[in-house]
Each structure stands twice: as C-alpha cells, then as structure tokens.
Chain A
Amino acid sequence: MKNFSYVRATSVKDAVQKASGTTDALFIAGGTNLVDRMKVFLDQPSQLIDITRLELNRIEPVAGGLRIGALVSNTAVADHPIVRRDYPLLARAILLGASQQIRNVATAGGNLLQRTRCPYYYDTAFSCNKRQPGSGCAALTGINRMHALFGASDACVAVHPSDMCIPLAALGSVVEVEGPKGKRQIPFTEFHRLPGNTPERDSNLEPGELITAIVLPPVPFAKSGVYLKLRDRASYAFALISVAAAVDVSGGQIQQARLAMGGVAHKPWRLTEAEAFLQGKPATAETFQQAAEVALKGAKPLEYNGFKVDLAKRAIRRSLTIAAKGGGIA
C-alpha cells in the first residue's frame, strides 16, 4: 500500500514551497472529493499538504465586487448576506449541490478543482484517458447519458460536475492563484480546460500553484439572476443540465445578458454567442427561444445524451424568462 505523508502548511508561501519540492504532492482542504478518489486509487500522492490553517477564509468586498477566499466553506459562501443579495444565483447553485454536510466541509477553491464524476473515470476496470492517459475512453461508446455536448474530444467526453462554477463563469469571475513564480489572475473561463488530447489536465494551474481567492466583479443585474438545475432526483444528484442566467432589462429591451451552462462540457460552459445575440433584443419568449437555439448550435450529442440538447434549450428558455421577470427560484 502506498503510504503518504501529511504536512500542515503555515502560510501560502510555505504551501507553495512544500508543493514545489515534490512531484506528486497534493493540497488538501475539505477533501470531499480527493479522499474519495484516494480510496479507489485515482490519486496516490506521496504527500498531502494541509492548507486548512491558511488565512484564506474571508469574504471581503473589493471594488464593487467580492473576493471569496479559497478556504471559505461552500456553506459560508451560500449564506453570506452580500452573496445572497447581489449574487443569488451563486448562493442557489451552491445550495443545489452536494449535501449540507459536504458543503460545510468543502471549500470554494476545492469546488473548482473537483474532478468529473464520469463513472468510467472512477472505476479502474474501465479504460479512461483522464485516469490513465493513452488507455482510451470507455464512455465514448458506453453509457454516456451524463456526458458532454460541447468541446469534447475522442479522448474524453466527461463533464465538469460543479454547480458553483456555472454562475462564477457567467459572472466573469477571476481566479487568484499563487505559485512558485508568484501571483497571477486567471479569468474564470480560462481556468478550466477542454480535454483535447490531455484530458488528465482539468485546469490551467501550473505545478505548485495554489488557488487563493475567487473575485466576483460587480454585476448589478445579477441581483435578479437565476440558477436552474435539472437532474434525476430532487436532491443530491449531479446536473443533467444546469443554467446560470442574468439579464439586464430596461424598457423591455435586454441591455446585457450573462449565461452559462453546466453538465454539458469538460468546463463550465459560458454561452457568449447567446449573450451577444440577446443584447439589444426585446425580452420576449421568442427572443429567449432564439437564444436557446444559438446556445445549442454546434452541440454534438453522443449515443445516450441526445435528450440534453432539447432539455438544455428548455432550461435556457426558462432561466431567461425568470431572470427577465426579476429573478427568483427556478
């Protein structure tokens, strides 16, 4: 059995330094996904670097927006009064994910780095390029009901599982990271990767880099934003389709829109073409239907997930309708 060592980082610099010193060390915070993966040999780190004591657990207003420390629990983000008031779609997305117990422990930074729940990835009996590069993708010709419509490759058709990341992508957030080469900021939509030929890499984090915060920009019309999640049971299931939507409507005209989808790609799927289409259009059912068509243009369904194209259009239509009416529970 492969033993691992456990060390506690005392500062961000210390954490980065410890991670840079070894090739297969992993940071651990909530561990709600990592520990599960370690139990089935998906991750076998030589060292776990505990970052839970770092001072990254504050939510603070910045330049009209909000900086969420990487170690703030999912529960604390969802419960924060500013999040609830200004970014209700983010609070809603978090509360529709996992369970209360998991959200209490899971962190904001960790949420970004959770890995796909593709069952072909989780079981070593199946071939999976994400788990073992070059071994093939069993999901491609398997039961791919939960899998990608966009941006997939022959190497991987898995989807990113996060709910929280969908409004973060829609809102144009920024991920702050710190690594051996110092600090940098990564626009949210550039943080995660499409699988291409390297599905083993989920994000553009460099070795040793640590997420320190997520910064939400000011988006005044996000106050009426919505998050809609469609799944196979009422609670505790990953999304078949989810939509984060916010629209700025004035005099019946859409000034701006923000739209992203979950459950459809290897990364949170920002719908920039649909956003551009919506700009300047009347806030009507017809417009929303057309926007849904634009959003799903280029979708490439697999054998078992064709229904998601129609379901996604319906979800977009519904989300935009509610957002345009001032928001609420979708």
Chain B
Amino acid sequence: MSKMIGTAVSRKDGRAKVTGTATYSAEHIIPGLVHGYVITATVANGQIRAIDTREAERAPGVIAVFTHKNAPKMFMPSNDFQRSKIYEARLPLSDNKIHYAGQIIGLVVADTFERARYAAHLVKADYDTQTPVVEAKKASFKEAPPQMGEELKFEKGNLAAGMSGAASKIEATYTTSTELHAPMEPHAIVAHWQGGSLTVYEPSQWVMASQRTYGELFGIPSERVRIVTPYLGGAFGCKAFPWPHGILAAAAARQVKRPLKVVLSRRQMTANTGHRSETEQTVRLAATSDGVLTAIGHDVKSATSPVDVFAEPCTAITPVMYAAPNLQLKQELAVMNVGTPTFMRAPGENPGMWALESAMDELAWSLKIDPVELRLKNEAKQHQRKGLPFSAKHFAECLRTGAEQFGWKERPQQVRSLTRDGKLVGWGMAAATFPGYRGRASVKVRLLPDGTVHVLTAGNDMGTGAYTVVAITAADALGVPVEKVKVELGDSLLPDGGLAGGSQMTATLAPAIMTACQEILKSAKCTTAGEACTALQQSRRAAFEATASAAPGEETKKWAFQSWGAHFCEVTLDEEIGRLRVTRWLSVMDVGRVINTKAAASQVRGGVIMGIGQALMEECHFDPNSGYPVVYDLATYHFPAHADAPRIEVTFVGEPDRAFNPAGVRGVGEIGITGVSAAIANAVYHATGKRFRSLPLTPDKLISG
C-alpha cells in the first residue's frame, strides 16, 4: 500500500490539454447551434427609460433580442446554498433597474457570433441616472451579516484592557484593491433544450448544485437537467454557481428553441462575473516585552453590490493564527454600485493574512524579536472561536524548516543593510493558513478483467489536478499502475462528487475512492486487484463494481481542521526608479498527506504567483463618473507575467491528518496565496525601512514612500 501516494505524477489530462482535445464549455459543437451576445449597461445607477432594439432586430442573422420588456421565462430559485444557489440574487432582466455598470440588460441571439455581437452594438438604451457610489470613501458601512452561516464578529476578553499597559503596541490600517479573477478560460455556456430537458455545458465547480439550480430556475425536476463540465480553465471561486449570463442564455435557448452559446468577452467579465472586493483593515496588536500577545483587534471593511450580499470574510483567520486573551473582531460592509463580489482564491484568508501578517512583522520590529520567533511564541493551540484543538498541526515545523532552508538566520537585523548590483535587497516572511474543508461525495469504481480501473464521479477538476489525484488514489488502493486508471469527472449523470471549492475536492473524494476500492476487493473476495482480475476472467463477469459514499462525521465536533504554511522571500528594489522584483521564494506547507507532490507544488506555486500579482500590480479601477471598470482586458488588468515570477521552491511537511479523514489529506489550492503579499511587503520593509500598507506596490507608491 501507499506506493503511489506521495509521488510526483504528471497530470493525466496534460496531453489532452496541450493537443487541444480537452473540450472546454464553449467548444461543444451541437448541430443547429446559434449564438448570443449580451448587452450591458453603460451606467452604474439608474433606470432604463427606453431601449430601442428595432435596428438590432432588423440586422442580418438576428433571431431574437431579449430585454427586460420581453424577458424569457425563469423562476426564482430557493437560493439557500443547500438546494440551489445563484451568484446574484436578482434574476437577469427582471426590471429596468441598473445597479452597476456592465450589468446585463439584454441578449441578442443570431446565427453567428459576429452577427450577434454586431447587433448587440446596435441596441440603444436611454437611462435616467443617479450618481453611483463606486468609491469606498463615499460609501456608508454597516455591520456585516454572518457569511456562510459563520459570524464575522467575535469578542473574548477585553481588547482595550489588553492593549493598555502593553510593552509594545501596533495599530495600523492596511488596504487591498479590487481584484478580478481573470481565469484563463472565459465564462461561457452552451444551453441545449431537448423536449423538456436541458443540457448545460458550462464551467462549473459544482455540477450537482448547478443541476438543482437550473432545475429550479426553469421549473423542471433536476433529473431533467444535465450539467457537463469535463474541463475548467481555472475558476478560483467565480465558476461555482450560475451567473446572470448563464441563466439568461439557458432561458433564451428555451424560447428560441435552438441550442445557444454565449461567451463573455474579457471586457464583460470585468463587471459581471465576480471579483474580490477592496478591503480596509485595521489591526491592533499588543504584546509583552518578550513578545507574548496580550490583545488582537481586527476591524474589516469591504463592499458588496446592490443585488447580493458578500462580505470578504477577513476576520475568519484571526482567531486561528495567534493566541491572545483579548480578541475583538469586527466586520463592516457597504453597498456600492459595482458588480457582485464573490469567492476568490482564499476569500477572506488572503486579504486577512495580508493585514495580520504585516502587523505581526511591524510588531516583531518594534519588539526587536525575529518574526519567525514571534510567530512560534504565539501560535494558537486551539481555534479561539470554535474552542476546539487543531488536529495534526505542524505550523512550527513549517516555520523552522523554512527558516533553515532559506538561511533565515543570515538575515541582518537592520533595514537597508543588504544591497546587490546597486539595488536594495530585503528578506521577508509571513505565515499561510487555510481551513481544512471536506464535503460529502459518492464515487463509483469499476475493475475490468484486463486490469483497467474506471473511477466515476461528478466532482470537478478546475485545472488543479483532480483527475490525477483521483487516479493515484485508486491506483494506490488497488495496487494497479496509474496508467490503468481511467477517470471521468464533471458530469451530473455521475455520482455526486461535491464541490470543487474551498480546496476540498481531494479531502472529499479520496476517502470515498478508498472505500469503493476496498468494496471491490471485498466483493471479489480477493486481496489484490490482480487476483480480482483473474477471478473476473474465470467467472466471465464484465467487471467488479462498487459505489461508496463518504462524508465528514463526529470528528468536526472534536477538532478544528486547518492547514498551515510559511513563506520566505527575497525582493530587490531599484529605489530611484521604483522597480521592485521578487527574486527568491520558499514556501513550506503543512497540508496533511500530499497525494501528488508535483501537482500540489504547482498549486502552491500558482498561489504564490497570484499573490505576487496582488502584492505588486493587480488593481481594478472604477471610473469615478460612470462607475464602469476602467481596466479593459488582460493587457490592462495586470497580473504577473513570467518575468514577474521567480523560482519558487515548495516543501511539504507531509504529515497525514488522520482525524480529518482516512486519507489524511487536507487539500491544497488556496493556502499558497495566503500571506504572500505580506511576505513581500515585509521584505520591502527590510530592504527600505519603509512600511507599505496599501496594495498593490506599484512604482508610484514605491518612489513616494
């Protein structure tokens, strides 16, 4: 056993992807397919006074033009997360109101994409407009409601008492900018009605929820809906539920009685497929002279849209990271005329760790204590909100291993003390963390006489490596080569595989796969797959087959499950011209047992690179007058190019978390981005002696600091 788990396996879907045979949503070709192009609002707050579609309707190839005046039929789903969920709690085209610029106000259906796009351009909308609120400084903030059933506020002890009389105190405000998902695969849908049944080809991180949701949206049983998502080109949280364009496309397809494809442009995606809200966070820390925390305060502000509630839950990490007798968390939310924000790679954890880990660095400097030491001294043994001990926590090992591998003790304890080629050099570190989530899943495994193994589940591979992880887990359990395992994912016809989100797909699927494989051997009355194959050949049966389900249980009442990590980095700054480069990176991660070291390391690298984007360049501006995003496409919305990414070393602790699940895995995907921006800003402080508290660290800020 366990010969495969923990090895480096190249992704099973790699060849299909590089040769173009992996079929993404927009690539499904159905005879009779017609094309839709959405029409979007050019103002951010107002009402449509008049909308003239006549010219568009007369344009060649146009089949239909939908606006709020002739919206295709759809029903409000329960939208309660258990049964169904849509990203935006307002159905598209429900009325003439405009809540944000880029909101969908219509759809043109035509025989070709080009003709649909052209006709969409001919639709003229007149608006009554009110001044939009797109700047946080002009917004009004109120206490944020609980997020996903979890309170964002929390208090224990007395913050003021903990702060007063402390040997060292930090109080500082940190900000992050609005960030866009910009996944490589744009949002797209092909909707195909046959009789009363709907097939949806759409990038979905959760095909079973999507199936139920589309069923409710169109008043049909979910059994009459099929969601097909074999491949996703990146999702990061923005492809878990239907967005307005998908709902509208499916509704329009039903009405025009043709299979319909809608692909959003990059421009459209800047406004109406989710983003990470800007945040403003004030952190208060107090400590004794030897660096023991006595108080932590964390106040957070973020913004949501007028049509849904999403608070970037930054305070979730605060009771997890460091122990303090006095702890106070507050979170506020404002409604602004911007598109609906949503989950984006480590929602809450990422901006939360930016603020907390920057403040911890400030505290370390003020106490003249090594920042690694300060973290070791204060690590929380239990989840301070849940009151539960952490299971299989190896945070200290991440810090110690990282410090050793990076050579941290060589770091001079003075700012502006390292230079190279005329540039300032700085070293920084920060912690990383992400909860261990696990869902319920069912998996079907089949063993064929020739030793081929089929694994089938509706769970998704977002491009993260689930195909390979599933294959390795089954190969390991049955003792067959990975090449003999064929994996089918992302189709609602298959057994419910749960949600690919919250970094939980591996922890969700692996226990079910292991159980199904054991069931096969048991039903074959064999101890190895080889014996079972011989038994199949002798009995002339087609296959041994088993379906198993697995779900979290009583352990969640005994333990808090959390992954941990530490980032160490080097930056160089050409101070005169504000040119900052990240030149070296090491991440040490405690994510439980690692199934595929290659894919897991890639996930961490991807997170680090995305974090470099947040730290150095990512920023969506909204036009102060119209409220429209001013970034236009992948050229104007900057994220890291290859030249921005250094070599990134990744080390795993690798200790299994058996209390969490029988596979001992906690999953990896989001943790990599947490703490990255703080590690960089902390390194910039070491290089320059200047503390930057507002992201991104663009040249204008770096020369003015």
Contacts and interface: CB of A to CB of B under 8 A. Distances in A.
A232 B581 contact: no
A126 B617 CA distance: 24
B240 to A, nearest CB: 28
Contacts of A138: 623, 625-626
B616 interface: yes
Most A CB within 10 A of own CB, among B61, B642, B703:
B703
B302 to A, nearest CB: 21
Interface of B: 40, 42, 59-61, 101, 114-115, 117-119, 121, 267, 576-579, 581, 616-617, 621-626, 628, 630-632, 635-636, 638-644, 698-700, 703-704
Contacts of B639: 233
10 contacts: A1-B117, A1-B118, A119-B632, A143-B622, A230-B578, A232-B699, A236-B635, A237-B635, A240-B700, A317-B576
Given A232-B617, A233-B641, A236-B641, A120 B630 contact: yes
Contacts of B581: 234
Most B-side CB within 10 Å, residue of A2, A234, A235, A240: A234
Contacts of B642: 235
Of A2, A40, A141, A232, chain B has the most CB atoms within 10 Å of the CB of: A232
B617 A119 contact: no
A150 to B, nearest CB: 18
B636 A318 contact: no
Given A138-B626, A314-B578, 5 more contacts: A117-B636, A125-B101, A230-B578, A233-B641, A237-B638
B35 to A, nearest CB: 12
B690 to A, nearest CB: 16
B657 to A, nearest CB: 38
A311 B42 CA distance: 34
A1 B631 contact: no
Contacts of A141: 624-625
A233 B582 CA distance: 11
B577 A315 contact: yes
B638 A1 contact: no
Contact of A126 (B616, B623, B635): B623
A122 interface: yes
A138 B628 CA distance: 11
Contacts of B636: 117, 119
Nearest to B41: A125
A122 B632 contact: yes
B611 to A, nearest CB: 14
Contacts of B700: 145, 240, 307-308, 311
Interface in A1-58: 1-2, 40-41
A228 interface: yes
A233 B696 CA distance: 11
Contact of B630 (A2, A119, A236): A119
A143 B621 contact: yes
B114 A307 contact: no
B449 to A, nearest CB: 49
Contacts of B578: 230, 311, 314
**Chain A CB within 10 Å — which of B101, B630, B642, B699 has the most?**
B630
Given A125-B42, A125-B101, A307-B704, A230 B624 contact: no
Given A126-B623, A142-B625, A237-B638, A1 B114 contact: yes
A154 interface: no
B60 A142 contact: no
Given A119-B632, A125-B101, A232 B698 contact: yes
A126 B698 CA distance: 26
A230 B59 CA distance: 46
B703 A310 contact: yes
Nearest to B621: A143
A233 B626 contact: no
Given A311-B699, A311-B700, A123 B628 contact: yes
Contacts of B621: 143, 145
Given A124-B121, A237-B638, A142 B699 contact: no
Nearest to B698: A232
Contact of A125 (B60, B115, B628): B628
Given A125-B626, A230-B699, A307-B700, A2 B118 contact: yes
